[in-house]
Every structure is written in C-alpha cells, then in structure tokens.
Amino acid sequence: MAELLEDELDLPAEAAEVYGAAAGLGLDLSAVKEQFRIHREAGDVVGARRCLDEGVDRPGSGEVLAETLLLRARWRKAQQDLAGASEDLEKALRAAPSHWPALLERAEIKTALGDSAGARSLELALERPGVGEVERAAGHRCLAKLFAGPLQRPVEARRAWERVHREDPEARDAAAYLRTAYRQAGERDALVALLQAELDRDPRGPEAGDMRRELARALAAQGQLEAAGLEWRKILRGDPTSPEALAALQAQFAAKGLWKETADLLEAAISAQQVPTDRAELLDQLSVIYGDHLGDAPRAQALKARAETLRHPPPD
C-alpha cells in the first residue's frame, strides 16, 4: 500500500503514515527506514526525528533496536550532534555487542570527539575469534584511516593498511598509503615488491605510468640496473619522449659503450617529439653520439644543422 501511494499516486505523506503504522505494529524495521527516508527527502526534520524516536522507544529484539539506534545516530551525526550520536551508539552496542556497523561508527565518532576508546574497542573486537571476512576487512580499513588521520599513529596505521592490502590487493587507497610509507622509510625492497604487484595486477591503469617510473628508480637505487632498464624501456614504449627514461637508458648504454643502441633510442624519440626546441635538443645529443662515438662526422654535422634550423627557422 505504501509503495502504491508513493510511487503510483505521488502521495508521499500518506505513504509515510502507512509506513509509520506498519512500524508501530513491529512488522518490519524497513518500515521505519522508509518512513524516515520520506520525511528526510521532504525536508521534514521534525517528522524524520519523530519516526526515529518512536522506533527507538518501540519494543524489539536487540538487533532491531541496535539497527534503529544506528539509524538515529547517523541522523544525529549529519546534524552535527556528535555527542547524541555517541550516546545512541553506546546503547546500540549494549543491545547488540557484536553489531559491526555500530562498532565502526562509534570508533569514528568517538575519535572525532577526541576519545580513542572507540578505536581501542574496535581493535579488541577484531581480535575475537569468529570475525567474518567482510567485517574484518571493514574494521581494519576503519582503523587504518583513523590511525593515519586524526589519531596520528603512523606505526599502527601502516600495520592496518598492510592488513587491508593483504585482504584486498585491489585496494588502491591502501597501496597509495603504503607506497608513501615505504618511500619515506627508505624501505626499497618493500616498495619494489608493492609496485611490482600493483603493476602485475593492472599494467595499464591510471597510475601505472607513475608507478613504473618509481619502480625503475627504486630498482636502480638497489643496483638492479638491468631490471630498471627493462622498466625504462616499457615506459618509452608508451612515451618515446620521456626525458627521465631517455636519460636513464642513455646513461646505462653509455656505461656499456652501446652507442648504436643509444643512437636508435634518440632517433625514436626525435620521430615522436613534436616540440621544435625539444626536438632540437635531442638532435644535438644524437649529433654528439655520431661525431664522438660512431665516427660519422658528416652525419653529426647534418644533425647539428637540423637542430639549428629548428631553433632558427628561415623566414617565410
């Protein structure tokens, strides 16, 4: 009946009354939620609060009471009444001590009120046996955000984000946090392992270019020059003009006396480069390679002339 009134007859107030009657009979918690939704969407603050208060005062099982208190706590939070929301969450957890959404919400609100007890309760709850996979993942993520943010506990934050990443390797926020943490701590082995895993999972993702550059740098810093070179080559396949990749491979080739390979690298970059001044710079570099290392002075002069023409094109 309520759905008919709201969806077909466009009578939301009457639908809210029907949902309220159903809620009063204790038929279904969803009736309270629907009644609350209608009042909220209509901008009826008084009606929304009234239906929540009535739902809390109505007798029901521990889980139903906890759900209703959680709904009111979230409403109070949205109204900036954090103290009231905290009270509701304490009541919810007395009614249903293992209610995970209430545990998570309480940890966040207690922390916002300057009290770390909520986070500690969540830590203890995660240590209990029998915690489900979904609940455990949500709990670790909540703690990770609180430790990294308002609680400012970087050691615990890192542990929590590592757990999140182990349980969900596709968690981009966890990977991003750990990349920064490992980089700042100078833990290159951990950073390399993380970047390689991320690139194996999504080699063409939106952050793949940045991650591959960081991986190449980290491998080079470890002394793994061949592995770093492979990553720089992959970067150049996608961006033949990448200055960092070009410089890294040129240095690597020069150290081995691979001047023909260096020339080929520069030729590819020149063909792809559209900016005249940048192309001129690459032509200068190629000119030096041909003149000083490949023994082809005419070719070197021709390349130098092309560079000058790009810098100073003849008048039309």
- The two tokens of residue 211 are 């991650």
Residue 265 contacts residue 240 (beta carbons within 8 Å): no
Whether residue 10 is predicted with pLDDT greater than 50 in this model: the reply is no
> Higher-confidence residue: 58 or 2?
58
293 neighbors 283 (Cβ within 8 angstroms): no
For the chain, the maximum distance between any two Cα atoms, rounded to a whole number of angstroms, is 96
Cα(300)–Cα(291) distance, integer angstroms: 5
**Residues 254, 109: Cα–Cα separation, whole Å:** 59
Instruction: Give the three-state DSSP class for 95.
Output: helix
| Helix (H) or strand (E) segment spanning residue 121 | helix 117-127
Q: Distance between CA atoms of 230 and 208, rounded to whole angstroms? A: 15
The residue extents of the domains of the chain are 239-316
Supply the pLDDT for residue 57.
75
Distance of CA 110 to the CA centre of its chain: 24
For residue range 150-182, list pLDDT tens digits in order. Answer: 999 999 999 999 999 998 988 989 999 999 999
Report which of 169, 174, 95, 112 is spatially closest to residue 140, judged by C-alpha positions: 174
For the whole model, what pTM was predicted? 0.70
> CA–CA separation, 143 vs 164, rounded Å?
10
Q: Which residue has the higher pLDDT, 51 or 11?
A: 51
What is residue 48's predicted lDDT score, i.e. its pLDDT?
A: 72
Encoding tokens for residue 40? 């909220």
**CA angle at residue 38 from 35 to 41, to 5 degrees?**
145
> Percentage of the chain surpassing pLDDT 90?
54
User: Position of tokens 């500690």?
Assistant: 120
Q: What is the pLDDT of residues 53-100, one digit of tens each?
A: 777 776 666 888 888 899 889 989 988 999 999 999 999 999 999 899
Q: Given this model, what pLDDT does residue 164 score?
A: 93
pLDDT at 39 over 70: no
Q: Predicted confidence band at 7 (pLDDT cuts at 50, 70, 90)?
A: very low
Structure confidence at residue 217 (pLDDT): 94
Using pLDDT thresholds of 50, 70 and 90, give the confidence band for residue 52: confident
What is the rounded distance in angstroms from the CA atom of residue 208 to the CA atom of residue 229? 17
**What value does the mean pLDDT take over residues 258-283?**
90
Structure-token match 């993520």, residue found:
141
CA 161 to chain centre: 11
